[in-house]
Structure 1
Amino acid sequence: MDAATTLPPTLSQERLDVALAAPGFLPLDEALALHEAAGVFLGQPDSVGIGVEIGTYCGKSTVFLGAIAAAHGALLATVDHHRGSEEHQPGWEYHDTALVDPHTGTLDTSARFRRTMFDAGLEQTVVGVIASSTMGARMWGREVDFVFIDGGHSMAAAQADFDGWSPWVRRGGGLLIHDVFPDPADGGRPPYEIYRQALDSGRFEEVSAHGSLRVLRRVGA
């Protein structure tokens, strides 16, 4: 961490160290912005005390969201099938052989996620849902204060995340989308495409942008 970075009172150095040690791809400045944005929605008078993360991997971003949820006495559900996205599969850039289950021969990040939550002291705040985003959305049944979308980056995966979970964001709640790159030269397009869909729908307005993180607020039915 940069010496000039000041931690918010809702994030301890111990939890930050756990997050930094966990495998993942969230830059610290965006992680701190995510932590702050989630706190805004959880701290509103009409908060329902629940946030949702789509795309857990090993729990790096989950620590930042879980820490702010704990500070508000809220719960965080984090949804992932834990078999990895396209880029985590054998032969792809982000494949990590240390995360392969020798029994199945497939990626399984669930144990590493649970270790992260244990080390961060967040097992009483974070609810791990081992399921695809589509399956999780089908069984969900209540409004939430925010949804953070950081799952698979194929168009099919991103569209399923948006279609399945954005309707559960309460009015005034947040839709937070990671890896939004307006310039195609900077990254894949699907997160940008669902970001544009959210704005064009008239149901969401942009609140802020931090690197590739976009923070939207639900304003319409």
Structure 2
Amino acid sequence: MSSPAIVLDQQLLTAAAEAAGFMPADEGRALAEAALAAPGGPILEVGSYLGKSTLYLAAAARARGGRVVTVDHHRGSEEHQVGWEYHDPGLVDPLVGRIDTLPGFRRAIALGGAEDVVVAVVARAEDFAALWSTPLAFLFLDGSHTDESAQRDLASWAPHLAAGGVLAIHDVFPDPADGGQAPYRIYRKALDSGDYTELTGCGSLRLLRRSPAS
């Protein structure tokens, strides 16, 4: 008798779709499905903002019987700062005078019922990468979209991806008129390295499998 198919946690998919953030529902589900299908091992997200994409990954983590680890300094990306397009004054801590997305993130994870499968690390991604040692099954890069930070995220975390593991990159827009180019450049850098083969993505979400020999 064959084993029943493992399916995504529907409660968490619904919570993700309803949460605040910038992940379209079709891309979020594709992200969750890719994480569900990845080989055994940890799922890690770089850049979680208010937790929308984290909930999609949590839907896969719960189905896999594992957890998703997130790393974010929660001070907001460049585009979230004062004077930028995605600045939200409601996310500024009045006592500190800086963006603080951690309370909103924790609220979304709690309301979504995902506290048992989400391990949140408050740190700069490159600092945490220096302490990490477990090979990753799935790595999602969706941090700051400047060239410097995107390149730094790729350089610090891609070496931790296991052979056969999946690298996901969000907001990849080949046409500059559609969006920023930093995620597109790290996507091209990874693909052009010869260490990855491309899987079927969705919208601005690109999926790459690390080659066994890389």
Q: Same fold (TM over 0.5)?
A: yes
Residue in 2 that maps onto 1:5: none
1:10 maps to amino acid: L
The CA distance in 2 between the partners of 1:18 and 1:174, in whole Å, is 24
Preserved CA contact (<8 Å) 1:66 1:122: yes
The CA distance in 2 between the partners of 1:127 and 1:112, in whole Å, is 15
Report the Cα offset of residue 22 of structure 1. Answer: 2.7
Determine whether 1:22 maps to 2:14.
no
Report the Cα offset of residue 16 of structure 1. Answer: 3.7
Preserved CA contact (<8 Å) 1:30 1:210: yes
Residue in 1 that maps onto 2:208: 216
Residue in 2 that maps onto 1:77: 69
CA deviations 1:51-86 (Å, max 9, x no partner) are: 100111000000000111011111111110000001
Matching residue within 24, 29, 33 for 1:32: 29
Determine whether 1:201 maps to 2:193.
yes
**Residue aligned with 2:8, SS:** coil
The CA distance in 2 between the partners of 1:197 and 1:116, in whole Å, is 33
Matches within 5 A, 1:90-129: 90-129=82-121
Preserved CA contact (<8 Å) 2:13 2:59: no
Preserved CA contact (<8 Å) 1:180 1:189: yes
Determine whether 1:169 maps to 2:166.
no
Report the Cα offset of residue 209 of structure 1. Answer: 2.0
| Structure 1: stretches of 5+ with no match in the other structure | 1-7
**Residue aligned with 2:144, SS:** coil
* TM-score normalised by the chain length of structure 2: 0.93
1:88 maps to amino acid: H
**Residue aligned with 2:93, SS:** coil
CA deviations 1:5-33 (Å, max 9, x no partner) are: xxx95232x43443234321111110011
1:74 maps to amino acid: G
* TM-score normalised by the chain length of structure 1: 0.90
Determine whether 1:136 maps to 2:128.
yes
**Residue aligned with 1:35, SS:** helix
4+ residue segments displaced more than 3 Å: none
**Residue aligned with 2:208, SS:** strand
CA deviations 1:156-186 (Å, max 9, x no partner) are: 0100110011111101110000011111111
The CA distance in 2 between the partners of 1:214 and 1:208, in whole Å, is 8
Preserved CA contact (<8 Å) 2:50 2:105: yes
Range 26-35 or range 96-105, more displaced = 96-105
| Structure 2: stretches of 5+ with no match in the other structure | 1-5
Report the Cα offset of residue 197 of structure 1. Answer: 0.8
CA RMSD of aligned residues (A): 1.4
Matches within 5 A, 1:57-76: 57-76=49-68
